[in-house]
Amino acid sequence: MTTALEVRNLSVEITRHGHTIRPVDDVSLSVDAGDCLGLVGESGAGKSMTLKAILGLLPKGARVTSGELLLHTAEGTLASIDPISVRGHGISMVFQEPMTALNPTRRVVDIIADGARAHRDMSKSEAHETAVRLLGEVGVPAPERRARAWPHQLSGGLRQRVMIAMALATEPDVLLCDEPTTALDVTVQDQILGLLDRIRRERGLSIIFVTHDLAVIGQVAQEVAVMYAGRVVETGPVRPVLDRSLHPYTNALVTSIPHVDIGTDQRLRTIEGAPPDPANFPPGCRFSPRCPFAQPDCTRAEHVLVEQATDHRTACIHPEALASISVEGSP
Ligand SMILES: Nc1ncnc2c1ncn2[C@@H]1O[C@H](COP(=O)(O)OP(=O)(O)OP(=O)(O)O)[C@@H](O)[C@H]1O
Ligand SMILES: [Mg+2]
């Protein structure tokens, strides 16, 4: 397998009112060509910040303090690149709320055509044709007519399709998706997930898909990285990670998923407690204050991802504790 994108030891710091926090702390990720990597974790884990750092779109006051970004090149090697230079050239992003990403003063066709022309020299009419073709490709009905619409005239699902078309206009190799279906109802969510999966397979695109929803990961991703309090705590191929979790945090996420065949006597579990504030991360394993398996040495544990099975790595220093219990449900 060829690696399409690799993020090595990424850390992001934010200074506000004289205090510095590190919401992304030594995160390493990689996605193979044509694969989808799911990035999952509770709110505040640092998922969006990680994607924004990759694209150089960090908010004011935030900066990358360490890390390297490597992108697959035409020569077949991984080359170190600058985030700003890849935006719209190799990597595109799809956001959760299309309305904030789509320019409300431009017609749909122009929004997409702009991206196409920024990427490759083409005439206005060629860009127009490309935009209409992309609208058709992402499943917008009557693309010629819809192309003339303004973003506010479209439903949420159609707007998300337009945003995907806009992201594709620059012919990226990697698509970063930040909760692209969270704002949509379940039926539309399924359609958009199906669309992204089809595009991935047809175009050989690589996708990093951020969500807090493990069931979605089970649907779209081949690989998964689980983030907790700014760090990746478990990573590997989707089925082993979800079915045989090696980190109590992943296990807690898995067992808290609503499951269709959950019996009436099986209450849906949620994870006790709340994730820590980045201004006050606990020492050692950051999940240890909430972990039912925590032992005294967990608060002194250094954060290292150790391979326990083929390509399946965990930062938990007591993965044997989980092996003794059964997993109740997985997506
Ligand atoms: N502009 C900002 N200034 C200061 N802190 C921020 C800023 N944006 C995010 N943070 C903090 O950084 C941490 C990581 O935020 P991030 O948005 O990456 O989380 P997330 O995993 O995407 O969560 P969610 O599922 O809610 O989208 C959070 O603790 C958040 O409060
Ligand atoms: Mg987010």
C-alpha to C-alpha distance for 85 and 127, rounded to whole angstroms: 22
Q: In the chain, what percentage of residues exceed pLDDT 90?
A: 73
Domain end position, chosen among 155, 171, 187: 171
C-alpha to C-alpha distance for 225 and 239, rounded to whole angstroms: 12
For ligand 1, atom 3, the nearest C-alpha belongs to 14
Question: What SS3 class is residue 98?
Answer: helix
Residue-level pLDDT at 257 = 64
CA-nearest of 224, 229, 259 to 242 is 224
Q: What is the mean pLDDT of residues 182-204?
A: 92
With respect to residue 293, please indicate whether it lies within any of the assigned structural domains. yes
Task: Name 214's Cβ contacts closer than 8 Å, sequence gap at least 6.
Answer: 40, 242, 253, 254, 257, 331
User: What are the pocket residues of ligand 1 if the criterion is a CB atom closer than 6 Å to any ligand atom?
Assistant: 14, 16, 23, 41, 43-49, 59, 212, 278
With respect to residue 154, please indicate whether it lies within any of the assigned structural domains. yes
* Residue found by looking up tokens 């799911």 in the block: 38
With respect to residue 64, please indicate whether it lies within any of the assigned structural domains. no
CA of 315 to the centre of ligand 2 (A): 22
Residue-level pLDDT at 261 = 47
Domain end position, chosen among 139, 171, 203: 171
Q: How many CB atoms lie within 10 A of CB 205?
A: 22
pLDDT surpassing 60 at residue 329: no
Q: In the chain, what percentage of residues exceed pLDDT 70?
A: 92
Domain end position, chosen among 123, 138, 171: 171
Domain of residue 260, residue span: 245-323
Question: What SS3 class is residue 143?
Answer: helix
Task: Name 139's Cβ contacts closer than 8 Å, sequence gap at least 6.
Answer: 161, 191, 195
pLDDT surpassing 80 at residue 82: no
Residue-level pLDDT at 260 = 46
- Per the CB < 8 A criterion, the answer to whether 217 and 275 are in contact is no
Token pair, residue 131, equals 């935009």
| Ligand 1 pocket test, candidate residues 13, 48, 50, most atoms within 8 A of CB | 48
Of 183 and 239, more confident: 239
With respect to residue 147, please indicate whether it lies within any of the assigned structural domains. yes
pLDDT digits (tens, 9 = 90+) for 104-159: 999 999 999 998 998 889 999 999 999 999 999 999 999 999 999 999 999 999 99
pLDDT digits (tens, 9 = 90+) for 34-69: 999 999 999 999 999 999 999 888 999 999 999 999
pLDDT, averaged across the chain? 90
Q: Which ligand 1 atom minimizes the distance to the CA of 50?
A: 18
CA of 308 to the centre of ligand 1 (A): 30
With respect to residue 202, please indicate whether it lies within any of the assigned structural domains. no
With respect to residue 239, please indicate whether it lies within any of the assigned structural domains. no
Q: pTM (2 decimals)?
A: 0.92
CA of 101 to the centre of ligand 2 (A): 15
> 167 φ, ψ to 5°?
-65, -35
Alpha carbon of residue 313 to chain centroid: 18
For ligand 1, atom 16, the nearest C-alpha belongs to 46
With respect to residue 315, please indicate whether it lies within any of the assigned structural domains. yes
Token pair, residue 271, equals 């994870």
Token pair, residue 309, equals 């099975």
Q: What is the mean pLDDT of residues 202-222?
A: 94
- State how many domains the chain has: 2
With respect to residue 132, please indicate whether it lies within any of the assigned structural domains. yes
Tell me the ligand closest to 24's alpha carbon: 1
